[in-house]
Amino acid sequence: MTLKQLEAFYWAATCESFATAALRLHLSQSSLSKRIGELEACLGKTLFDRDQRRARLTPVGRALLPHARQLLTSAEHIVATIGSEGDLRGSCRFGVGEIAASSWLPRFAAKVKKQFPDLLLEPYVELGRELEARLIGGELDFAMIGSRSTHPQLDSQRLAQVQFVWAIAADVAPSARRAEDAIAELPIISMSKGSGARRILDAWMKSQRCEHAAVVTCNNMSSMAGLVAAGLGISYFPRGWLRPLTDKGILRVLPSRTPLQKLDYHFHWRVDDTRAYIPRLRGLMASEVDYDVSLLQL
């Protein structure tokens, strides 16, 4: 029995599919199956029921899972405590939303590269609900999402809070002194449903009793700013992220009678993932996360 066999078994048991587990371990699916088969031969027991469309753990497999997790955690602990500080290597797949991708993500990636040159970061940019599903399914190691976790398989820790403000093109609707005035003339340009940013818009619209206002969906914040600058609508952005555009006179901030709610961003990880590098990267992310920084300021 080897750690590689136990590792293959563990990820196959906790990921959505053998294909996902193989991707996580940078193996072909046949190599993953081979390691699991070797482990089954060593134990003389069948660990997965392969007769169904999706392989499921047998009673023996379910009994083995916590022991495999404990052994892999011990191995990680040995590496973390006895290995050198800069020995994180391999690849790390993590998820962020579009706003993070257009603000602090490059700075975070650069810091990780400097501290852990042998660790390859693979960022995945998507809506929060999609990131959560991929994290639960084992496709991601962790994710930064605009809400706390309520799923029993996930844990989360708040790392940032963001204040959004309304903005409009500097030369559009000069009579509009507040956001409430502007949305009577222009559509709201917003992130897609399922994003944290859209959730605070929905809450604001409900509080203003304007749920039927026109909303145009866009999944890229830089594109949203471009559409607003072209006079095609009004939108809302992190206050600091917006500053380069207001300083250049491209957009102007519109106050509102009722401010938009602040949005909390949480670092999410799987409860059963006790690998030592998860808290280390969480700490690095906490030191770099800043949704008020625009790519134009990096």
pLDDT tens-digit series, residues 99-145: 899 899 999 999 999 988 888 899 999 988 899 999 998 889 999 99
Do residues 228 and 244 share a domain?
Answer: yes
Domain holding 23, by residue range, is 3-82
What is the spatial distance between Cα 16 and Cα 139, in angstroms, rounded to a whole number? 8
Joined together, the tokens standing for residue 91 give: 């690849």
Q: Name the pairing type of β-strands 251-254 and 235-238.
A: unpaired
* Percent of the chain clearing pLDDT 90 (strictly above): 55
Place of tokens 């072209």: 230
Do residues 62 and 196 share a domain?
Answer: no
Do residues 149 and 171 share a domain?
Answer: no
Do residues 60 and 102 share a domain?
Answer: no
Do residues 153 and 274 share a domain?
Answer: yes
Do residues 127 and 269 share a domain?
Answer: yes
Do residues 181 and 249 share a domain?
Answer: yes
C-alpha distance from residue 230 to each of 33, 40, 166, 250, 291 (Å): 54, 63, 16, 9, 24
Instruction: Please provide the DSSP assignment of 113-170 as one string.
Output: HHH-TTEEEEEEE--HHHHHHHHHTTS-SEEEESS---STTEEEEEEEEE-EEEEEET
Run of H or E residues at 188 = strand 188-190
Place of tokens 């083995």: 64
Do residues 149 and 170 share a domain?
Answer: no
pLDDT at 297: 55
Place of tokens 């599919």: 17
pLDDT at 219: 84
Average pLDDT over residues 34-54: 87
Q: What is the pLDDT of residues 268-283, one digit of tens each?
A: 999 888 777 889 899 9
pLDDT at 85: 53
Residue ending a domain, choose from 82, 98, 116:
82
What is the spatial distance between Cα 237 and Cα 17, in angstroms, rounded to a whole number? 38
What is the spatial distance between Cα 265 and Cα 100, in angstroms, rounded to a whole number? 10
Task: Average the pLDDT over each of 38-42, 211-215, 249-253, 261-265 and give the range with the smallest value.
Answer: 211-215
The CATH code of the domain that includes 200 is 3.40.190.10
Do residues 73 and 217 share a domain?
Answer: no
Q: What is the pLDDT of residues 144-155, one digit of tens each?
A: 999 998 899 999
Residue ending a domain, choose from 15, 49, 82:
82
- Dihedral angle sign, alpha carbons of residues 149, 154, 155, 160: negative
For residue 81, is pLDDT > 80?
no
What is the spatial distance between Cα 217 and Cα 172, in angstroms, rounded to a whole number? 20
Q: What is the CA radius of gyration of the chain?
A: 23
Do residues 185 and 131 share a domain?
Answer: no
Residue ending a domain, choose from 82, 100, 116:
82
Do residues 100 and 78 share a domain?
Answer: no
The residue type found at 58 is T
Report the 10 Å Cβ neighbour count for 159. 17
For residue 298, is pLDDT > 60?
no
Tell which residue, 119, 59, 128, 134, has the closest CA to residue 87: 119
pLDDT at 250: 94
Q: Total domain count for the chain?
A: 3
The partner residues of 266 in beta bridges, in order of sequence, read: 145, 158
Do residues 155 and 281 share a domain?
Answer: yes
CB-count burial class (<10 Å; 0-12, 13-18, 19+) for 177: exposed
Helix (H, G, I), strand (E, B) or coil at 186: coil
